[in-house]
A = this chain, B = another copy of it.
Amino acid sequence: MVVSLAQIRERSGEVFTEGCPTRVVLDHIMSKWGVLVLLALTDGTHRWGELRREVEGISEKMLASTLRTLEADGLVARTSYPEVPPRVEYSLTERGHELMERMLPLVEWVAREAGDIVAR
């Protein structure tokens, strides 16, 4: 599938306009922690504590905030089990999987090129 910038402009209306929905969603999923949390969830369901350990350097506050935003966007599903001690699991929704289908090739390319890029 060939995608042109013109198509993006047409479909999204105004990608370059302040406050347009596209900018808002981009800010969520392409934020420093948003990408890493989504990536961590790509290989399956994870518990809160697992995410905290997996996404190195994230604070509890930012993990909570990031997860709430992604959940509100319908990209991440939160499942709480009424047990003691509490157990909460996070996973990608259908929409989240669609997103990551598009984001993985990008991240893969960056991961491959990053060494060369920062070494300059």
- Chain A residues with CB under 8 Å of chain B are 1, 3-8, 11-12, 15-18, 20-27, 29-32, 35-36, 39-40, 42-43, 54-57, 72-75, 95, 98-99, 102-120
Contacts and interface: CB of A to CB of B under 8 A. Distances in A.
A120 B7 contact: no
B111 A22 contact: yes
Given A32-B27, A42-B5, A72-B120, A102 B109 contact: yes
Contact of A105 (B1, B11, B24, B27): B1
A110 B54 contact: no
10 contacts: A4-B43, A5-B39, A8-B111, A15-B39, A15-B111, A16-B54, A21-B119, A22-B110, A24-B114, A74-B120
Give the dominant DSSP class at A's interface.
helix
Contacts of A21: 114-115, 117-119
Nearest to A103: B106
Given A16-B36, A99-B109, 4 more contacts: A3-B108, A12-B114, A15-B107, A105-B105
